[in-house]
Amino acid sequence: MKRVITYGTYDLLHYGHIELLRRAREMGDYLIVALSSDEFNKIKNKKSYYSYDQRKMMLESIRYVDLVIPEDDWGQKTKDVDRYEVDTFVMGHDWEGEFDFLKDQCEVIYLKRTEGISTTQIKKELYGKEK
């Protein structure tokens, strides 16, 4: 079984998120999504509209997602790759090169993001701000 993992906040879930999850799932048999916890978001100076539990429930309802785990700190990725026997680590291309240190443990792929949509864009248009 080929296991894939990706990370994110997944706030204001939109079709760009779904497309990323679909493409990530196509790379393996089992997709793990590490979801930023509310506490980790505070460390990153981010505020989600939905709570961790609400975001987790939405992700779990998506057919491409097999398991949702909490992301609590920047350093847990190497542990997660080992713990869940991950074969492929997937992130959006805006993180290009940031996770190359994982290449000793698994394949690292940066996917081009879906054009024309982002949570930042939605928040700007709705609220006039990025956070």
Task: Give catalytic residues, as residue numbers.
Answer: 44, 46
Report the distance separating Cα 22 and Cα 65, nearest Å. 8
Q: Write out the two tokens for 36.
A: 């930023």
- Does residue 69 contact residue 35 with C-beta atoms inside 8 Å? yes
Please name the residues in contact with 111: beta carbons below 8 A apart, sequence gap of 6 or more: 20, 23, 24, 90, 91, 92, 93
**Long-range contact set of residues 99-105: C-beta below 8 Å, sequence gap at least 24:** 102/77, 102/78, 105/78, 105/81
Report the distance separating Cα 43 and Cα 40, nearest Å. 5
